[in-house]
Amino acid sequence: MKLTIETLCSEAARFAAAESQHPEPSLFGVTDGKAVGTYLEHKFRVFLRGLGYQFEEGNSANGIDFPCLAVDMKVTSIRQPQSSCPFRSARQKVYGLGYSLIIFVYGKTDDEVTHTANLNIADAIFVDAEHTADFQMSKGLRDILENDGNRDDLVAFLSEKNLPVDEIGLDSLVTEILQNKPKQGYLTISNALQWRLQYSRVIEKAGNVEGVRAVYRGQTV
């Protein structure tokens, strides 16, 4: 079977419900979020293949988990819902990452008696690529355009935001913004050597705004 966005989301909901009930010995005592993420990402791919879905897996070259769908999988703790992603260009903060996100938000508990861990999936959220820009950046730019702002207003706004772009890149980006109003993004994207993505807003908005889908709602721990 061919994997689609719709089947990815529906199977993510099934997977989240099942995983929330699963006691996992290998994660007992593990506090490294990356280890938990690697475990869940691998297990979800195995889950999909076990159901007969066929899909290309990501690698270091394309950098996302499901390149055939232009979707990356993110796993994050409910205590601090954030992760990093590769920096490609400053444009991503304005127009989005260039791919969609399927985000699993978990709360982890350890059972001292059975020496197993449980990953209670609190939320699984799908964020459409068009809405993966930074919330404040895209909102500010949209407000300027909707209030008859011009090139100077956009340059001033972007300069104040310390967008990591040189003068030529800034001029090119402003020209694009004037011609193509950005869609509203819902991530919080912090400047760093890699983008730091924060997900509190998408957790809050999932199911209530365009482009942010509540795939699964579990019980918070």
In the chain the domains, ranked by start, together with CATH numbers, are 5-82+98-131+205-217 (3.40.210.20)
Query: Which of the residues in the chain have pLDDT under 50?
Result: 221
| Residues 81/198, Cβ–Cβ less than 8 Å | yes
Give the single-character DSSP code of 131.
G
d(CA 20, CA 217): 11
The amino acid at 183: K
9-39: string of b/e by CB count within 10 Å (b at 16+)? bebbbebbeebbeeebeebbeeeebeebbeb
With CA atoms as reference, report the closest residue to 100 among 215, 211, 216: 211
What pLDDT is stored for residue 164 in this prediction? 87
What pLDDT is stored for residue 61 in this prediction? 58
pLDDT tens-digit readout, 81-94 = 999 888 888 999 99
Give, in order, the Cα–Cα distances in Å from 125 to each of 85, 89, 214.
Answer: 17, 25, 5
pLDDT tens-digit readout, 181-219 = 999 999 999 987 689 999 999 999 999 999 999 999 987
